[in-house]
Amino acid sequence: MPEFDAVVWEWIIFAVIVVVLLALDLLVFHRRDHVPTLSESTWWTVFWIGVGLAFNALFWLREGHEAGVQFLTAYLIEKSLSMDNIFVFVVIFRFFAVPLMYQYRVLFWGILGAIFMRLAFILAGVELIERFSWVEPLFGAFLIYTAYKLARHSGAEVHPENNPVLRLARRVFRVSQGDHRQHGHAFFVREAGRRCITPMFLTLLVIESTDVLFAVDSVPAVLCITTDRFIAFSSNVFAILGLRALFFLLAGMVERFRYIHYGLAAVLGFVGLKMIAKYFLEYELAPWVSLLAVAGLLAISIVVSLMVKPARNDEFREGEN
């Protein structure tokens, strides 16, 4: 597989674009806490997808067809996995009783941490593959195992109260007695003259620690598509930048997509087998074939989810905040 290593200035330009977008998002467009409307979330979702596809188009023109297809396939995989992660975030926010108006800000800082974690995971993963080629089939086998677990996925299995990071934080730090209405979106406050962390900070810790598990699943899947550091990282970043808007767009109708985890499981199984075949059989599918396979599997799961309506007592009802 040919490599498309970006020179230093390309990394710099990419970093500047991401920083500017994040700064505008937090300091200009969402500087005030509010409950996002459905139309607002829709337009922001369209905006972030448009930004990712525009970057893909520019990258396609500069680096060529194969690099462009690899970026789009990796972007599609990460974006789709984000949809399955949304239910977990919903459960976490309900557990901590975080009002809707503050959830966006928590997700912002959560995504910022996710960007650095993705960078570390991708760089480490590529380095392992380049130094020890036998790691590839191990990644493939891990993805097949993950696909099996995802196919058996159940939202009821999410238990934030058992999160080890949450338990450690409660033991090590002083937690404020006030609730979200008293402290707003603050992560740190003073009570009785002592600095404390707030329940909002605990929420962020659980979000960040949960994202580590998401990265363990998604990064090997992306590295099955490409081992180019720039393609893998930039496609991941543009996919997760729009997670906040996508969360508010889909959080209230997650159960409408209750079959998508089967599609995601099929995708992870496919890319896992693809990586194993590459190592043992020295055979690799063309990038466009992988793109069509991933898109097709996801499309089928989405269409089936929308066509088969859930039973009335199984419909998702978001808790009031």
Element counts in the chain: helices (H) and strands (E) = 12, 2
Which residues in the chain belong to E strands, given as ranges? 188-191, 194-197
* pTM for this entry: 0.84
Higher pLDDT: 252 or 97? It is 97
* pLDDT at res. 161: 79
- pLDDT for residue 320 is more than 50: no
Helix residue spans in 152-281 (DSSP H):
164-172, 180-183, 199-225, 229-241, 243-250, 260-280
How far is it, in rounded angstroms, from Cα 177 to Cα 196?
9
- Looking at residue 212, its amino acid is V
* pLDDT at res. 252: 65
Query: Per residue in 271-308, pLDDT tens?
Result: 999 989 988 887 888 888 989 999 999 899 888 888 87
- 149 contact partners, CB below 8 Å, separation of at least 6: none
Instruction: List the chain domain ranges.
Output: 8-311
- Looking at residue 225, its amino acid is I
Do 260 and 182 meet the contact criterion of CB atoms below 8 Å apart? no
pLDDT level of residue 154 (50, 70, 90 thresholds):
low
Q: What angle do CA 29, 32, 36 make, to 5 degrees?
A: 70
How far is it, in rounded angstroms, from Cα 260 to Cα 243?
17
* pLDDT at res. 180: 64
What is the C-alpha R_g of the chain? 20
pLDDT level of residue 8 (50, 70, 90 thresholds):
confident
Higher pLDDT: 244 or 34? It is 244
Query: Per residue in 118-136, pLDDT tens?
Result: 999 999 999 999 999 899 9
Q: How far apart, in Å, are the Cα atoms of 225 and each of 3, 286, 291?
A: 12, 10, 9
Query: Per residue in 63-76, pLDDT tens?
Result: 888 899 999 999 99
Q: Average per-residue pLDDT in the chain?
A: 83
